[in-house]
Structure 1
Amino acid sequence: MMADIQAQSQAQPANGTATQEPIAATRYGKVRGRTNDGIAVFKGIPYGAPTSDSNRFRRPQPPQAWSGVRDAFTYPSMAPQPPAPIRGLFASWTDPTSIGEDCLGLNIWTPALNDGAKRPVMVWFHGGDFASLSGSRSVFDGTRLARRGDVVVVTLNHRLNAFGFMYLGALIPELAGDANPGMLDLVAALQWVRDNIAEFGGDPANVTIFGQSGGGGKVATVMAMPAAKGLFHRAIIQSGTYARNAHLEAMTPDQATQHAHTLLACLELKPADARKLIDLPMGTLVAAIAKAAQAERRAVWRPVADGKNLPAGPSWPKAPEVSADVPLMIGSTATEMSMLMGTPRPDLFDIDESTMRKRLSAWFGPDKLDEAIALFRKKAPKATPGQLFFDMVSAIVFRRGAWRHADLKAAQGQAPVYLYEIDWVTPVDGGKWGSPHSMEHPFVFDNVAGSASMVGTEQAEPQALAEQISPAWIAFARTGNPNHPGIPHWPAYTVPERTTMVFDTASKAVPQFRDDERVLLASAAEKDVL
């Protein structure tokens, strides 16, 4: 992979006319990109060495330098993971990559190279919890976002699941200092951005990290990592603080070690044989990860509060001091769980009242269940039991997490926090999905035209959302304040006002939005359903 690369100064397009392709210099060598609609695009630039062999489970190492000019035309490999189909609401979002342990690569979209413009840099962390997917899905193409905002967009891949989040410190003591290698990959990518992004027209002193779902959880976790201090200056968490014990807290070393034991058992290895994990073929380990996900004691791969790389949970019981001065934007969609629970369990859309009550009893005791159902039904009197269930669980799991996170950030008083909710209802399948998990991707990246499976084929309304949301993200990246002329004034979140920007065809900033829900749900049980 790191062999010398021969320089080619020109490319021949189909019409036979020679065109100059953009070339940029990094600390490790020169890279050649391509131009798309006026934006220079570089794909698969290595920010770390391959993570196979002796580098498996260890902190990332710098990439090896190369001579000549390296073609940066293709996305990096997807991190090793069990295969999963792209289906349903995600069907429009293609991903051309295949898995490989040499996955530490990033992609850049920029309006100009090395022109001293000091553009804001927006670094995207992909979702899929901490276990799956990649930053190379078509909806994350940064062309339109870079052109709209005159910003530099960066997406990347990093280690996931057991490759990036299996805690081995108790089983292989020499790896104790390398806990959370998947998160250390993200820090390494931000260090690469700091050292190289000026060549790509970006400002290393104005970097925003943003991510959705698991990517939002990664943003929250990076905000608590001492090694990342100073590498980013704004943060956006999209649908990423779900269930306090999933993303606001981190696993303890003891909890994480139990998940490592589960994987070892699936491989028929004893704890004393843990070192054999380093030498197993990638495919063998991937197969065991899939098996461990179905085990009686299901293996879960998430950050570990090891006391060093991640001193404590991302934002519980208080917001991390290491990022207290970083402005934060945080929010969710209205009915996150319609996709997350309804896609694998379509029968949930058609449950009856009795089944709805039985399922909700996991969060509410008998004394609170009637009160909770009455509150949500009053706001949506025509909702079916299935719709009411998705609405309530979305509030319990996602909105409650966002409120808690915003409260903790606001209590620090050192940087503003802005809260949002996206309430637009997608027309797909007759509107049954409501405002599902991941729906904001085409709005943030301004890629509505390639997202029919999520937002429908009629583009006027979803494009109107993109005209509000994408500029808000850009404004926040530029200044730490998301306000722009296309939306109503959006005040920072403070207690007790708790103003929320509600994005819809007619957006509005609402003080104490859903405050009755917030008060009621504060006492609901903690239950990690994802």
Structure 2
Amino acid sequence: MIVTDMFINCLKRTSLVILAGYLASCSIPKTDLEPDQMTLLTIEKGEIIGSSNDKTFQWLGIQYGSIPNSSYRWKKASETEAWEGTFEALEFGNTCIQRGSLINTTKRRNWGEIIGSEDCLYLNVWSPLDALDSSSSKIPVMVWIHGGSNVSGNSDFYDPSELVKTQNVIVVSINYRLGPFGWFRHPNITSNSENAEDQSGNYGNLDTVQALEWVQKNIGYFGGDASNVTIFGESAGGYNVAALLSAKNAKGLFHKAIIQSGGIKPGDIDHSESYLEENLPWKNYSSRELVNQLILNKGMATDRDSAKSLQEGMSHSEIEGLMRNASSEEIFQAYLTTKINTNEMLRPFPDGFVLSELGVLGSLESGFNSDIPIMIGTNRDEMKLFLLDNPRLTKEFLGIPRIRDLDLWNAVSRHRTNAWKYLAVDGPSQSLANRGRSNVFAYRFDWDDEPKKYGVDLKNLLGAAHAFEIPFVMGNFDKDALTKYILSKKNMNEVKTLSHAMMSYWAEFAYKGDPNKGRNGDLTDWESWNPREDYNKFIVFDSVIDGGIRMTKDFLTEENLVGMLAVDDQIKDNKWKCEILDAAIMFDNFADHDLLNEFNDQKCSDLDPASEWRKYWYDEKKKRF
């Protein structure tokens, strides 16, 4: 999920336990597990035993890569060593370094603190109870890559046991390095590296490749089919799935890909290596600025200019020594306190090794991995989650956001979400289908049947928000948290019906590369994206009363996005329209700035590049969070 530090603080500040409960509904209960002799296996590195419940066998906290000390920082992780005796896989492995929040720790005292370890490359395996039967056929494997803006999140936040049990698949969830440990490319460090992997800078993506290598070597022992592996991830996890689609070093390690609420737009390698003033001010990460901030935090300089001068005068070995000798907490704190916009997601950048110089779409358009079926989609109200704390759109009452102007709220969310959908789904799907690919399957998640709570209509406030499809895909609805706030006896049966349908589609895609009519062949036929006008494009997931599961011919283009914004009479103030487009350009790399000046009869031509929207994100959020 793209649950940024900004949003995490918003949740704490506004006491949005409703939403927290929803997101936590797919998490795994923290209980003491007992080893089950039925799960005793010998895999590549040694003997291992897991546990069981009434749904699945599970093996937790299996290390797939090692980062034993800071000398391994910003390198490909080393191979794990074989162990002696029997490894009890009963607990999740270390959390990767990140800021503590409600999505990665139950200990409130750790919220806002830096938690975790650099040595955090662990994975977990769930299998059906009969998967280890020697007479059983090997079954498809689904590898889950969690979200969290590539700066937060854990594999232990998700419980896929219902998906595993009902759809007869094996699910593997993984941790990977986050923040400045996962994405960092400083020329004084990478130039000293001896191989392309260490020079990459996309270390979090290298981790996902290494996890897939582990799957290829070991999943057969768990009853999985190494020749039928589907990667799936949501939000930042979806971006990382997309990166794997263009990664030559991942070729052959997976066979199908699912991108949920993600995207394919890469980061910029020049931005990642530059000083702030050398490129456009709107960027989300710079290794040189991180070094500047570490110099400042250590008291080696008094301001940024002197820190930059000091860095410029340091040798390669001095900078490398500074960065490798700093503690993980010092590195992450420098990342959090630097003048970079840390609320934005860290995106993989084209390094020519992990991510092609062509980018994801360019690589796919060239025919690379054309045999790999792709499922890709977004939620109808993605942006409502991220607009909750905007004081121009909401106000607080008793600690809960209330919508100021419902028409404006829905319009701003709709246009921002549409820009996301165009860039993440419609644009790429149309482009690939125009090149003859018939194995791209798109969706939109529309379910929004939330009740009214505490005088707030959650259907309007949240709707089909970002990450809300995850419990439906996993099939796990925590009755204490979710039923109390989002679900009810009135809608529970329909929720479970929709969830079972989605699990069935996801599993059928994992089995055959085509979601078709689901595992039992009794659902609406999910057709691939057809590029011709007036033909079906994507499937919609919704409650029966709102249309149910159905195919639609609708799709978005850059031109009709701008056109719909121009004529939207729910937005009375034209300045809002300018700011929406400005935000779409900045946040989503949508189109180019010429559109801003041409928009709506030149009415945006006098909008300062440091617009109110941009100023809000830079200045106001810095003060508040």
Question: Is TM > 0.5 for Structure 1 vs Structure 2?
Answer: yes
1:108-187 equivalent positions in 2, closer than 5 A: 108-111=125-128, 112-113=131-132, 115=134, 116-137=136-157, 140-175=158-193, 177=196, 178=198, 179=200, 180-187=202-209
> Offset of 1:350 from its aligned partner?
6.2
Q: How many angstroms apart in 2 are the aligned matches of 1:195 and 1:301?
A: 30
> Offset of 1:23 from its aligned partner?
1.3
CA contact (8 A) 2:64 2:122 kept: yes
What's 1:26 paired with? 43
Q: How many angstroms apart in 1 are the aligned matches of 2:341 and 2:126?
A: 44
What's 2:71 paired with? 54
Q: Structure 2 stretches of 5 or more lacking a match?
A: 1-30, 276-285, 296-306, 397-404, 564-580, 589-616, 618-625
Amino acid at match of 1:503: F
Task: Give the 3-state SS of the residue equivalent to 1:330 in structure 2.
Answer: strand
Task: Specify whether residues 447 and 486 from structure 1 end up closer, same or farther in structure 2 by C-alpha distance, changes over 3 A only.
Answer: farther
What's 1:436 paired with? 465
Q: How many angstroms apart in 2 are the aligned matches of 1:487 and 1:284?
A: 53
Q: Which moved more, 1:168-177 or 1:21-30?
A: 168-177
Q: Which moved more, 1:504-513 or 1:222-231?
A: 504-513
1:416 aligns with 2:436: no
1:302-451 equivalent positions in 2, closer than 5 A: 302-312=347-357, 314-317=359-362, 319=364, 321-342=367-388, 344-345=389-390, 348-349=393-394, 384-414=407-437, 416-427=439-450, 429-430=456-457, 431=459, 432-449=461-478
What's 2:586 paired with? 527
Amino acid at match of 1:512: K
Q: How many angstroms apart in 2 are the aligned matches of 1:423 and 1:298?
A: 26
Q: Structure 1 stretches of 5 or more lacking a match?
A: 1-12, 242-246, 352-381
CA contact (8 A) 2:185 2:272 kept: no
Q: Encode CA deviations 1:330-355: one digit per residue, 9 max, x unaligned.
A: 0011000001222x43652469xxxx
Q: How many angstroms apart in 1 are the aligned matches of 2:78 and 2:342?
A: 33
CA contact (8 A) 1:121 1:151 kept: yes
> Offset of 1:462 from its aligned partner?
2.0
1:278 aligns with 2:298: no
What's 1:231 paired with? 253
Amino acid at match of 1:56: R
From 294, 313, 336, the equivalent of 1:267 is 294
Q: Which moved more, 1:412-421 or 1:204-213?
A: 412-421
Q: How many angstroms apart in 2 are the aligned matches of 1:385 and 1:190?
A: 45
TM-score w.r.t. length of structure 1: 0.81
Q: Encode CA deviations 1:145-198: one digit per residue, 9 max, x unaligned.
A: 110111100001010111010112454412372211110100000000001000
What's 2:553 paired with? 512
Q: How many angstroms apart in 2 are the aligned matches of 1:313 and 1:411?
A: 18
What's 2:620 paired with? none
Q: How many angstroms apart in 1 are the aligned matches of 2:161 and 2:355?
A: 34
Task: Specify whether residues 125 and 346 from structure 1 end up closer, same or farther in structure 2 by C-alpha distance, changes over 3 A only.
Answer: farther
CA contact (8 A) 1:121 1:202 kept: yes
Amino acid at match of 2:84: S
Task: Give the 3-state SS of the residue equivalent to 1:456 in structure 2.
Answer: coil
Q: How many angstroms apart in 1 are the aligned matches of 2:347 and 2:485?
A: 28
Task: Give the 3-state SS of the residue equivalent to 2:412 in structure 1.
Answer: helix
Q: How many angstroms apart in 1 are the aligned matches of 2:344 and 2:528?
A: 39
Q: How many angstroms apart in 2 are the aligned matches of 1:186 and 1:454?
A: 35
Amino acid at match of 2:442: L
What's 1:80 paired with? 97
Amino acid at match of 1:401: A
CA contact (8 A) 1:114 1:200 kept: no
> Offset of 1:45 from its aligned partner?
0.4
Task: Specify whether residues 207 and 415 from structure 1 end up closer, same or farther in structure 2 by C-alpha distance, changes over 3 A only.
Answer: farther
Task: Give the 3-state SS of the residue equivalent to 1:25 in structure 2.
Answer: strand
Q: Encode CA deviations 1:468-526: one digit per residue, 9 max, x unaligned.
A: 111110110010111223531111112023521010123343342245x7641278662
CA contact (8 A) 2:239 2:347 kept: no
Q: How many angstroms apart in 2 are the aligned matches of 1:148 and 1:299?
A: 37
Task: Give the 3-state SS of the residue equivalent to 1:427 in structure 2.
Answer: coil
What's 1:5 paired with? none
1:491 aligns with 2:508: no
CA contact (8 A) 1:193 1:204 kept: yes
Q: Encode CA deviations 1:301-353: one digit per residue, 9 max, x unaligned.
A: 321211223222543345253321100000011000001222x43652469xx
Task: Specify whether residues 187 and 238 from structure 1 end up closer, same or farther in structure 2 by C-alpha distance, changes over 3 A only.
Answer: same
> Offset of 1:142 from its aligned partner?
1.9
Task: Specify whether residues 314 and 76 from structure 1 end up closer, same or farther in structure 2 by C-alpha distance, changes over 3 A only.
Answer: farther
> Offset of 1:274 from its aligned partner?
2.7
CA contact (8 A) 1:250 1:313 kept: no
Task: Specify whether residues 329 and 120 from structure 1 end up closer, same or farther in structure 2 by C-alpha distance, changes over 3 A only.
Answer: same
CA contact (8 A) 1:439 1:454 kept: no
Task: Specify whether residues 464 and 518 from structure 1 end up closer, same or farther in structure 2 by C-alpha distance, changes over 3 A only.
Answer: farther
Q: Encode CA deviations 1:348-378: one digit per residue, 9 max, x unaligned.
A: 2469xxxxxxxxxxxxxxxxxxxxxxxxxxx
Task: Specify whether residues 26 and 114 from structure 1 end up closer, same or farther in structure 2 by C-alpha distance, changes over 3 A only.
Answer: farther
CA contact (8 A) 1:418 1:493 kept: yes
TM-score w.r.t. length of structure 2: 0.70
Amino acid at match of 2:95: M
Q: How many angstroms apart in 1 are the aligned matches of 2:255 and 2:485?
A: 31
Aligned residue pairs: how many?
A: 469
Q: How many angstroms apart in 1 are the aligned matches of 2:58 and 2:445?
A: 30
CA contact (8 A) 1:336 1:398 kept: no
Task: Specify whether residues 301 and 99 from structure 1 end up closer, same or farther in structure 2 by C-alpha distance, changes over 3 A only.
Answer: same
CA contact (8 A) 2:266 2:347 kept: no
Q: How many angstroms apart in 2 are the aligned matches of 1:478 and 1:191?
A: 20
What's 2:511 paired with? 478
Task: Specify whether residues 21 and 287 from structure 1 end up closer, same or farther in structure 2 by C-alpha distance, changes over 3 A only.
Answer: farther
Task: Specify whether residues 491 and 57 from structure 1 end up closer, same or farther in structure 2 by C-alpha distance, changes over 3 A only.
Answer: same
Q: Which moved more, 1:56-65 or 1:499-508?
A: 499-508
Amino acid at match of 1:475: E
Q: Percent identity?
A: 28
Amino acid at match of 1:492: S
> Offset of 1:120 from its aligned partner?
0.4
CA contact (8 A) 1:315 1:408 kept: no
